[in-house]
Amino acid sequence: MTTFSIFLILIVIVSFLLVVVIMVQNPKGGGLSSSFGGGGTQQLGGVKKTTDFLDKSTWTLATLLLVLILLSNIDLMNEGTAQESKVNTEDVQVETPVIPTAEDDNQE
């Protein structure tokens, strides 16, 4: 398994996690963070802490995704330059094709 394949798998996993974290959030402050509060005095971690956690998770996953994409691009560029051509140039004979011109047609 090449390092590019590993980067590709990590990018897919981080992308999936980022989608899940974004879908859990509600744009108006509801979503999962409001489910924990519910208006009661007992709060599981507090609404503010849940919102902060989801916000930090989003930014962390987005940053990680960007870094993985850049690293995979660098790795892909390095793999392309490290490979040598597998064509044996000694055995290859290239013949130049003869292209008929208008003068050849007139001489016939």
What does the DSSP assignment read for 44-99? SS-HHHHHHHHHHHHHHHHHHHHHHHHHHHHHHHHHHHHPPP---TTT---PPPPP
pLDDT at residue 88, as a whole number: 59
Nearest partner of 74 among 82, 85, 86, judged by Cα: 82
Per residue in 48-93, pLDDT (tens digit) is: 677 888 889 999 999 999 999 999 999 888 876 655 556 655 665 6
Give the DSSP letter of residue 100.
P
Please state, for a pLDDT cut of 90, what percent of the chain lies above it.
31
In the prediction, which pLDDT does 97 show? 78
Task: Find how far residue 106's CA is from the centre of its chain.
Answer: 60
**Greater confidence, 63 or 42?**
63
For the chain, the residue count is 108
Contact 58, 14 (CB under 8 A): no
**CA dist., res. 55 & res. 20, Å (int):** 13
